[in-house]
A and B are shown apart, each in its own frame.
Chain A
């Protein structure tokens, strides 16, 4: 009886132990990855040939002013000590102060990240909604005009510089046709009208019930989001087509067709079902890429997101801002990976 009890207890404990073990492993890998990311970024920041002291005091400063600022930044301490202090501060939620904005980096990121999140989410949604059906249809009707169209779309998406396409989009849809709002997140009359709750103006204006601001914000985001969506679409449709072609040539599909199953059932219930896991990876990568900050899009559309924040900081040797931004982007990558893993387990029983 005792033996049976032990056995029974063991069977009950095993999944819990596995779960705890898996959780610790995940947490451990997050911590190690984040530490590695911070260390590499920190070292690059210290060895890169941009002088953070000059960024503060200017090139006309005297040596004593320079030395004073050098010491105030803690640059006179050993590198490993500087890194240790930085990690300790980050653990306590302190990313330091930005040289450029004179505000805590955490506050800056809380301001710029929602702008990027809003833009990237809309962008990737456009990419998913249009890219997946296009890829599937292109694969099913291989060699048809729609397949050729998908190829051209993908080719243009891969080869056209986003800078040029963005400016042309602005010129045509904003400058000439006047269909969309111009650069910036909202027009000048709507700046600071709705209270910031999430930092995403579309969401905040809905929460506030202010539909004028919502419409204006939508008219401003639609062009940059479509641009990002187009690049996302190009990638997703191409990969979907490729995955689908592989499945459609598999024997089980032939069997399904021989059994008389309808073509839509063959495509969507069998072939598409089997590429979902691969597509998750593709979409996650695409989304992460957009969240990382589409610097050029943000510059063209004067979109105050994290990409332009990190880039401006980098060019100005504002290393606290660069490190803070990089850590957040790194965290986003890791969280998206974890989310992808979870979805794998939902869609693929073998991963459970």
Chain B
């Protein structure tokens, strides 16, 4: 839908809504939740493989984990779930979980330590895309028989070295930490796939809901588990319908055919705000927008120039115009709501200060090339930067290309400037610290394309050691302080200008209570919802 069409449609819908009212229609049933969402990213419902947003939403509601986030108190961090308690060995390498008694899977099979052992081993052995979340602790298909071991009612995991307990447990809250019903899964094994094919479209969990059906690009239907150990959910049926268009989602919401619309564009959010019986809820998500400067560039590698660039960004101007409602200013690599997140945002547009910094570095006018993917919001950010950079004598040439083309150049360290987005992989600060502020070998030969610091040829210096130290710090408060310190240094010296953090705006019928999309750290949950 092009901008003109969108404008025309929004104007027409708004006009029509203002001059008339929608036909009075019945609400969705009190025990049913109907959500409109874009779910065309779901490729599988196997927790050992799923790595997409909509799939994670489903899995969070279907599977229990050793530890999990409470949707009504996400700030509290991980809480006991299928593991009732845990102890950590003296050397910090072994965690022993005691399983909760009396919990059953949807099949009626009891949840045991053997199921937890099977689930974690399975995720490592299958080695699908998200498996790195577990294998980063030294688990391999060859050693899982010794490192992930069930004994009676306990499960013991042994890591290759000492890590912060909070790091390990945060990772256990990720989708890949889901505990599957071993017996049911293995009954459906085909050609040694450990049930991977079957679990792609079925479920074998112990969570609040079970999957009744998933039709790709059409709908996911969940039915409640009346024996859920936290109590039977109020919503006995949850239907997530794939509705691509924002305007269509809004119409369905205002017609009472759905309870939640998750993909309204800013125009439709503004329109829905005025509708009767509809409320808008904002949640911060994990996605960050950033600008990075290649340290191979002679001018951009000067500390004063890096600082100057951070003063040449019109943060507020962008937030209040084309990013309105979708992004908030955030200048740290840990998204708000993450452990150790900082709310310090010291930079604002200050062309005079930027000019002083450039002058002190002895830098005159120069030209740089920025690579940006062909996404509307990123292009608009690039154009804003082009304008503000020019005010300090920096000519920014924008190269717009496909993801393939731009990323290839970024990974090859060829771009002067990259304007892009980054989303965390799992709900622990290490996920972003380990890529923005960590680069143990800055040589071209290292080829560490997974590290953003390497992609920008930035030798992070002593930050390597600080990131390494934070990842093994067992005192949670001390660990928080370490990340705050790392981010403070990072803000000042790094070649990254973190710009914005994404806001997800959901529109709900006003009788829907306690809806949570999981903020930046987890996914949407439905079991706490009431109407």
Contact = CB atoms under 8 A, between A and B. Distances in A.
A304 B129 contact: no
B251 to A, nearest CB: 5
A191 interface: yes
B450 A60 contact: yes
Nearest to B8: A164
Contacts of A255: none
Nearest to A179: B23
A164 B1 CA distance: 10
Contact of A54 (B42, B257, B404): B404
Contacts of A170: 248, 251
Contacts of A182: 251-252, 255, 257
A163 B251 contact: no
A99 interface: yes
Interface in B418-471: 422-423, 425, 435, 447-450
Nearest to A68: B127
B25 interface: yes
Interface string B395-435: 00000011111010001000000000011010000000001
Contacts of A308: 217, 244
B16 A171 contact: yes
12 contacts: A56-B129, A59-B403, A99-B43, A102-B44, A108-B216, A167-B248, A170-B248, A171-B16, A174-B255, A299-B245, A304-B215, A304-B218
A164 B243 contact: no
Given A176-B20, A192-B221, A302-B218, 6 more contacts: A49-B401, A49-B404, A50-B402, A63-B411, A176-B16, A178-B23
A63 B449 CA distance: 6
Q: Which of A49, A57, A171 has the most chain B CB atoms inside 10 A of its CB?
A: A171
B134 interface: no
A58 interface: yes
Interface residues of A, number: 51
Contacts of A309: 217
A259 B297 CA distance: 91
Nearest to B431: A60
A167 B267 CA distance: 15
Contacts of B405: 49
Given A99-B43, A309-B217, A54 B255 contact: no
A103 B403 contact: no
Contacts of A159: none
Interface in A124-172: 161, 163-164, 167-168, 170-172
B129 A58 contact: yes
Interface string B125-157: 000010000000000000000000000000000
Interface string B193-213: 000000011000000000001
Contacts of A177: 23
A302 B16 contact: no
A222 B423 CA distance: 42
A208 to B, nearest CB: 18
B5 interface: yes
A184 B218 CA distance: 8
A65 interface: yes
A66 to B, nearest CB: 8
A120 B224 CA distance: 37
Interface in B1-29: 1, 5, 8-9, 12-13, 16, 20, 22-23, 25, 28
B512 interface: no
Contacts of B1: 163
A49 B374 CA distance: 12
Given A101-B216, A102-B44, A191 B248 contact: no
Contacts of B247: 167
Contacts of B22: 175-176, 178
Nearest to A301: B248
Contacts of B217: 100-101, 112, 304, 308-309, 312
A111 B22 CA distance: 34
B222 to A, nearest CB: 12
B215 A51 contact: no
A183 interface: yes
Contacts of B5: 161, 163-164
Contacts of A100: 40-41, 43, 216-217
Interface string A279-319: 00000000000000000000111101000110010001000
A176 B201 CA distance: 38
Contacts of A99: 43
B337 interface: no
